[in-house]
Structure 1
Amino acid sequence: MMRHPVQANGVTRWVDAQPRRHDPVPELKERSMPILRHEIGDVLRDVRQRQGRTLREVSHDARVSLGYLSEVERGQKEASSELLASICEALEIPLSYLLREVSDRLADQEGVAVPDTVPAGLAEDASELDALVR
């Protein structure tokens, strides 16, 4: 195979005369991957604003600094489970509500259909298992 010089930016490289076969370029994902801390922050902000409360009020009730709560709402800080529990308590919502809302948003972004009910066969199996355990 023949090689020939190629100059770029004052540097000479030797390359094959025939172009090499390249693997096909993988397709870019149509959607970007959702980031959990962004979704958590969005839900917390939505709840707080629906309640007509300020960051200052919620941060005081949750015993969290105003700046830190702001960063959590903007998705800049990853909140611990203890901190999320404290914020949820200050907002008077269960932690499960926050997690469910975040889960629903993530499923929607991922294009995943999550049923709201338990399929009949699964519910029957669960009740049979429950009877065996008792």
Structure 2
Amino acid sequence: MAVLLRAHLGDVIRESRKEQGRTLRDVSAAARVSLGYLSEVERGEKEASSELLASICDALELPLSRVFAEVSTRFATVESVELAAPVTLPVRPRIEAQVSAA
């Protein structure tokens, strides 16, 4: 199952907000984003534009690069788990070139 970028971004934003002990209302007001929209971003239901992400990160006093670094780490973890499973590729039988003597 593919994990969407917006899901990881939302998780990181939500966790950062909660670590700061802040409410959705507080951050949405500081970021000048509707509370409902911020909630949808945190739940991974909406794709946030780069401008919106920057505004949310500013409101959280959180560098955007740190958010992307954490998202990257989470993707790497998911990919390593997925890559650990054996991969079976179809193998075509080798066809020997037949050279006729002339």
CA RMSD of aligned residues (A): 0.9
Structure 2: where are the runs of 5+ without partners?
82-102
Which of 67, 78, 81 matches 1:98? 67
Secondary structure at the residue paired with 2:55? helix
**Residue in 2 aligned with 1:68?**
37
Structure 1: where are the runs of 5+ without partners?
1-31, 113-134
Higher relative contact order (CA 8 A, sep 6+): 2
Identity of aligned residues (%): 67
**Richer in strand (by share):** 1
What is the distance in 2 between the residues matched to 1:110 and 1:35? 12
TM-score normalized with structure 2 length: 0.78
**Which structure has the larger Rg over C-alpha atoms?**
1
Secondary structure at the residue paired with 2:28? helix
Give how far 1:33 is off. Answer: 1.2
Show structure 1 runs of 4+ deviating over 4 A.
Answer: none
TM-score normalized with structure 1 length: 0.59
Number of paired residues?
Answer: 81
